[in-house]
Amino acid sequence: MGSAKLEARGLGKRFKTRGQVVDALLGVDLSLGDREFVSVIGPSGCGKSTLFNIFAGLETPTSGDVLLDGRTTVGADLLGRVGYMPQQDLLMPWRNILDNTILGLEVAGVSKRVARERALDLFPLFGLSGFEKRYPDDLSGGMRQRAALLRTFLAGRDVILLDEPFGALDSLTRAGMQQWLLRIWEEHRKTILFVTHDVDEALYLSDRVYAMSKRPGRVTQILEVDIPRPRAYDVITSEPFIEMKQVLLEQLRLAHGPGKAA
Ligand SMILES: Nc1ncnc2c1ncn2[C@@H]1O[C@H](COP(=O)(O)OP(=O)(O)OP(=O)(O)O)[C@@H](O)[C@H]1O
Ligand SMILES: [Mg+2]
């Protein structure tokens, strides 16, 4: 791939805590092209969040490189360069939804007034109109996720990392959110890297899917999803989709090792 927006080359991460050594990632190569939607799928504990933390500059790799816009970028220099929605939505319970969504802008030094104006412009698109003054506890799971996504989008980065944003949602809400996210992605021309445990979700959303092994996480398969866009949701029952799903499920079964279901 010519010019990747974000790239991992031979990335490894070893944690040492209280005398214990955990190899979380081993030799991970991954490439995210401009305006691509790419997913990472793999068993729990295989290092997906660790990979995202490295891309976001919150962890430093033990080996390998991260390239942003083709330039090797390390540790703290990555901070604030990509949009990141961590696995927990981290909405602050004492701030209303509007003020939760502007957090990233405030940290970046934008005045509250300007930040609120920018956020309010996006409330309809994120299905949150009328909930500006409500508190996170009053919102449904889907709405909380959309508020966290709005905050991530507002920060204005080209590349956005989403770590299992829909993991806690029921399947109907989740399907709705997936279709909505694709619309937003298409309209806003973002580059998205997405973590999920759900094979349908990975295939439906992505241009490419990286399957990872159990810990230490390595890339075991790269699957190009050559299904035309825009994708209607019923594409998930089409023959090419189901064939890809079988390939991916088999890969994940292997990744889990013997004796465990995928
Ligand atoms: N800060 C840390 N210190 C020590 N060990 C860590 C740290 N962060 C992660 N680990 C370990 O690294 C491994 C990978 O963790 P990580 O959270 O990246 O997995 P994951 O693929 O995101 O899992 P899940 O799908 O459950 O979210 C785990 O064994 C975890 O315990
Ligand atoms: Mg995780």
The reply to whether 145 and 78 lie within a common domain is no
The reply to whether 123 and 248 lie within a common domain is no
The reply to whether 152 and 165 lie within a common domain is no
| Residue 181 forms part of a structural domain | no
The reply to whether 73 and 122 lie within a common domain is no
The reply to whether 29 and 57 lie within a common domain is yes
| Residue 258 forms part of a structural domain | yes
d(CA 52, CA 6): 11
Helical spans, DSSP H, in 167-227: 171-188, 199-205
The per-residue pLDDT for 108 is 86
Q: Which of 50, 193, 196, 198 to mutate to test the pocket of ligand 1 (most atoms within 8 A of CB)?
A: 50
46 CB within 6 A, ligand 1: yes
Q: Tell the burial category of 196 from Cβ atoms under 10 Å away from its Cβ (0-12, 13-18, 19+).
A: buried
20 CB within 6 A, ligand 1: no
The per-residue pLDDT for 168 is 83
Q: How far is the CA of 232 from the centre of ligand 2 (A)?
A: 28
Do 225 and 13 form a contact (C-beta atoms < 8 A)?
no
215 CB within 6 A, ligand 1: yes
| Residue 116 forms part of a structural domain | yes
Q: Going by CA atoms, what residue is nearest to atom 4 of ligand 1?
A: 15
CATH number for 256: 3.40.50.300
Residue 112 structural domain: 88-156
Q: How far is the CA of 26 from the centre of ligand 2 (A)?
A: 16
Q: Name the nearest CA neighbour of 192 among 209, 217, 175, 211.
A: 209
Question: Under 8 Å CB-to-CB from 24, ≥6 apart: which residues?
Answer: 13, 14, 15, 47, 50, 215, 216, 217
What does the chain come to in residues? 262
The reply to whether 55 and 165 lie within a common domain is yes
Q: How far is the CA of 59 from the centre of ligand 1 (A)?
A: 12
The reply to whether 49 and 170 lie within a common domain is yes
| CB burial string 85-110: b at 16+ within 10 A, e below | bbeebebeeeeebbbbbbbbbeeeeb
Q: How far is the CA of 67 from the centre of ligand 1 (A)?
A: 22
Looking at this protein, which amino acid is placed at residue 55?
Answer: F
The reply to whether 164 and 203 lie within a common domain is yes
The reply to whether 255 and 238 lie within a common domain is yes
Q: Name the nearest CA neighbour of 61 among 51, 49, 48, 71.
A: 51
The per-residue pLDDT for 75 is 83
The reply to whether 70 and 102 lie within a common domain is no
Question: Under 8 Å CB-to-CB from 180, ≥6 apart: which residues?
Answer: 127, 146
d(CA 125, CA 225): 27
| Residue 256 forms part of a structural domain | yes
Minimum-distance ligand 1 atom for the alpha carbon of 197: 25
| Residue 183 forms part of a structural domain | no
The per-residue pLDDT for 244 is 97
Q: Going by CA atoms, what residue is nearest to atom 12 of ligand 1?
A: 24
| Residue 28 forms part of a structural domain | yes
d(CA 219, CA 41): 10
Q: How far is the CA of 165 from the centre of ligand 1 (A)?
A: 17
50 CB within 6 A, ligand 1: yes
Question: In the chain, how many domains are there?
Answer: 2
Q: Which residues of the chain have pLDDT under 50?
A: 1, 260-262
23 CB within 6 A, ligand 1: no
The per-residue pLDDT for 169 is 86
| Residue 109 forms part of a structural domain | yes
Question: Under 8 Å CB-to-CB from 246, ≥6 apart: which residues?
Answer: none
Give tens-digit pLDDT for 63-113: 999 999 999 998 889 888 999 998 886 799 999 999 999 998 998 899 999
The reply to whether 223 and 163 lie within a common domain is yes
The reply to whether 95 and 2 lie within a common domain is no
| Residue 186 forms part of a structural domain | no
53 CB within 6 A, ligand 1: no
